[in-house]
Amino acid sequence: MKQVIKLGGTLLDHEDTRLRLAAVLAREDARETVVVHGGGKQMTRFLEERGIASTFIGGLRVTTPEVADAVLKVVAGSVNSRLVADLNAAGAEAVGLSGVDAGLVQASRWSEELGQTGRPEATRPRLLLTLTSAGFLPVVACVATNARGDIYNVNADQLAVSVAAGYGARRLVFLTDVDAVLDGDGRRVSHLNAVNCRGLIDTGVAKGGMHAKLEACLAGLTAGLTEIWIGPGAHVQNSEDWKGTRTFGTTISNA
């Protein structure tokens, strides 16, 4: 089954977790797997060191020209290269990319107030299919472009959905720094459908990053994904944690 695995930036900021997940992903069939990653924590730290405040609207980062430049240096640069190196050391043949390469992910401006934050419109899968058919593991940073060559910072969850839809994946896995989706009482929800997701968003239970993640999940279900799993990357020991009985995390489907 074709799958897209999205790694949150917080997980990649911890060497032990990053190396363990690299070992897990290196054992997956590269002919069916694409990795997408964020780098929000690294971005925020990079900006703070330069006296640049981070502002978020609806869980999305406002992307000024300074922030856009940092995305290229940090997310598409150091974070991507470090992850690719670790995957290769674990036995994969990983190739670092962003949505800019070969026009992989096309995006448009989300809104004026969000600046150079982009909304993914389509993923052109030819590059991914070329790489995976040859046994390479694509590792895609959350940057996209448009026909004019404008570069956009894209929420990694939303980019993962676009990549999954364009690539023809049936499974999307979000490995993150939270244990699961929680209900209004703070309890783990083991399964959600589209109606449940919308309810958590509309009632304000899902806030900030989880709000954005569930919106991405809804888009994924609409795009034809069969199953989506959100779980704590820090607890994942092998891929059976998202393929098997799923004793932790949250499964999202139309079932």
Active site residue 157: yes
Which one of 8, 9, 115, 231 is the catalytic residue? 9
Active site residue 40: yes
Q: Which two tokens stand for residue 142?
A: 């959350």
Question: Alpha helices, DSSP H only, in the chain?
Answer: 9-12, 15-26, 40-49, 65-73, 80-89, 126-133, 156-167, 194-202, 208-222, 240-243
Active site residue 77: no
Residues contacting residue 109 through CB under 8 Å, at least 6 positions apart: 116, 117, 118, 119, 150, 152
Q: Which two tokens stand for residue 67?
A: 């922030």
Active site residue 204: no
In terms of DSSP bridges, do strands 94-98 and 137-141 run parallel, antiparallel, or are they unpaired? parallel
Which one of 99, 213, 241, 249 is the catalytic residue? 213
Which one of 8, 96, 157, 249 is the catalytic residue? 157
In terms of DSSP bridges, do strands 143-145 and 151-154 run parallel, antiparallel, or are they unpaired? antiparallel
User: 139 pairs with which residues across the strands?
Assistant: 35, 96
Buried b (16+ CB within 10 A) or exposed e, 20-47: bbbbbbbebebeebbbbbbbbbbbbebb
Which one of 40, 59, 115, 233 is the catalytic residue? 40
Task: Report the C-alpha gap between 157 and 182 in whole angstroms.
Answer: 18
Active site residue 213: yes
Which one of 6, 8, 231, 241 is the catalytic residue? 6
Q: Catalytic residue numbers?
A: 6, 9, 40, 157, 213
